[in-house]
A and B are shown apart, each in its own frame.
Chain A
Amino acid sequence: MTGLFDDLRDLYQEVILDHGRKPRNFRRLDDADRTARGDNPMCGDRMELFLKMAPDGTIADAAFQGRGCAISMASASLMTDTVKGKTPAQAHAMSDGFRTLAMTGTCPECGGDIAEEMERLAPLSGVHDFPSRVKCATLAWHTLNAALDGQAKEASSE
């Protein structure tokens, strides 16, 4: 419909627009075991991440609050959706994989027990064509790392 911007549908796929408009898991977890803040000072993207850990050490629940562009909101929404039920090691592997995906557009090492989740994240791979936007997509994952590692300091994808 909007001819001028048609070729941007690769970046702003329907999934992303949808998650950007209506982010999932967008709430505070009052009984969170781990929290972290993420900030992109340049863009004004800001988020707070909450994780609830299960007794077996997996991530029982993940939620976030914050403000940002469609890419960063969609990325946080998809991240919180896909890490539920994962061990911290798996979540770290997804985080590494996601960074490769966002920077190169593909992730050859994203197979194995995280293959299905990485498939769900694939719509965000379009950012690799937009160097100034890669950090919008990776902010949520940096924040996840900070929460899992229990770093007190603020995560930043600068």
Chain B
Amino acid sequence: MDGHMAPVLDLAAIRADFPILSETVRGKRFTFLDSGASAQKPRQVIGAMVRMMEKAYANVHRGAYHMSEQATEAYEAARRAVQRFLNAGDEREIVFTGSSTNAINLVAHSYGRGVMKPGQAVVISEMEHHANLVPWQMLRDAHGIELRVCRITDAGELDMDDLAAKLADGKVGLVAVTHMSNVLGTVTPAERIARMAHEAGAKVLFDGSQAAVHRRVDVQALDADFYVFTGHKLYGPTGIGVLYAKAALLEAMPPFLGGGDMIAEVSFERSIWAPIPAKFEAGTPPIIEAIGLHAAIDYVEAIGMPAIEAHERALVDRAMARLPHIEGVTLLGRAQDRGGVFAFALDTAHAHDVATLLDRAGIAVRSGRHCAEPLHARFNVESTCRASFGLYTTPEEVDLLADALGQAREFFR
């Protein structure tokens, strides 16, 4: 490692925890720069899930027998782990969902249709993932809610003046914005956004799908009303996501899905909802996935979110020292506060051609529009490549990308 990069993490030990990182691709070392789409899994997560299935599995909240009680305890322990991870005040404020997408749809449905009134508005931003855009369009069309889109600056930062303008008439019921862009890497000033929303009488939802992976999130310090993230980007399994919501909001919201586990009492005439969070967890929940997510949280917390953040900051600095200076490479966005996600275009080649070339060098990047089509339109680009870092990414991999990009440009000249 170079002198200017303090080794904040024991990368060799960390990489040894991720079996897939020792795979080769077309005879080359596998250089995985697509953690932003989905992260790889450490043995600790894989092992916890296998152990549960082999030794302690049964449905939860249902059986008066040992295995079910044990599974229920493990599932609820996972909820407490998430509570600590987000520094939520109360474990009842943690709802397990299938993904970030499910969590946002839950809020759009139960809070949007159940609590908001037609004529009110939702504010999103120009840099939202489709998961935090489409549910609000559906709410708009179904429930007479106005959808306002807060502009971003050319640097790829939220335009705070525009946010103030969008909030000015007091009609906004909810501000739903990303905490970190999955394309630009921009980290948004969440505390300030929450303060502005609250002063205007609105609630605030943060899409933390990217942010929660890269830095410590404290939902109480942010004063977030809703905060969502997804397990598979946090080195955990697919099929599990988290909705944090203040207890009073969850109490006021009607359920999203109906079924087993979410009711206290059922007759053919009516049902009485279970207390929160069960009210929002209809059906058999993602039990094994919750155990995997718990292991993932234990894993990143053992390393330490501050150390992970420092490591990624060093990688970002290294990437920023190289990528913008490669001839023909244009980066999308230049936010001051950013995480390890970079979207870029090459002048001589389309993103897909670049990704195919990089793949030959064993480098996995995403190409296309990364579920953020309106954002690409905003920057007037058809598609980009995106490199994103994880806690196992090495400085050498950043260099490998930069070197390969230079060669890719030559290839297409």
Contacts and interface: CB of A to CB of B under 8 A. Distances in A.
A146 B368 CA distance: 24
A126 to B, nearest CB: 11
Given A5-B361, A11-B356, A133-B356, A69 B407 contact: no
B368 A44 contact: yes
Nearest to A127: B356
Contacts of B352: 43, 45, 69, 71, 133, 136
A7 interface: yes
Given A67-B382, A71-B353, A4 B360 contact: yes
Q: Summarize B's interface: helix, strand, loop or mixed.
A: helix
Q: How large is the interface on B (under 10, 10 to 19, 20 to 34, 35 or more residues)?
A: 20 to 34
B368 A69 contact: no
A41 B361 CA distance: 26
Contacts of A1: 410
A67 B369 CA distance: 14
A75 to B, nearest CB: 13
A68 B350 contact: yes
B351 A69 contact: yes
A45 B407 CA distance: 24
A46 B369 CA distance: 13
A4 B376 CA distance: 30
A17 interface: yes
B353 A69 contact: yes
Contacts of A17: 412
Given A11-B356, A70-B412, A4 B368 contact: no
A8 B368 contact: no
A2 B383 CA distance: 25
A152 interface: no
Interface in B359-405: 360-361, 367-369, 373, 376, 382-383, 404
B357 interface: yes
B351 A44 contact: yes
Interface string A1-41: 11011011001100001000000000000000000000001
B145 interface: no
A54 B323 CA distance: 52
A45 B367 CA distance: 12
Interface of B: 349-353, 356-357, 360-361, 367-369, 373, 376, 382-383, 404, 407-408, 410-412
Given A1-B410, A70-B350, A130-B356, 10 more contacts: A2-B410, A4-B407, A5-B360, A5-B408, A43-B383, A44-B351, A46-B382, A69-B353, A70-B349, A71-B352
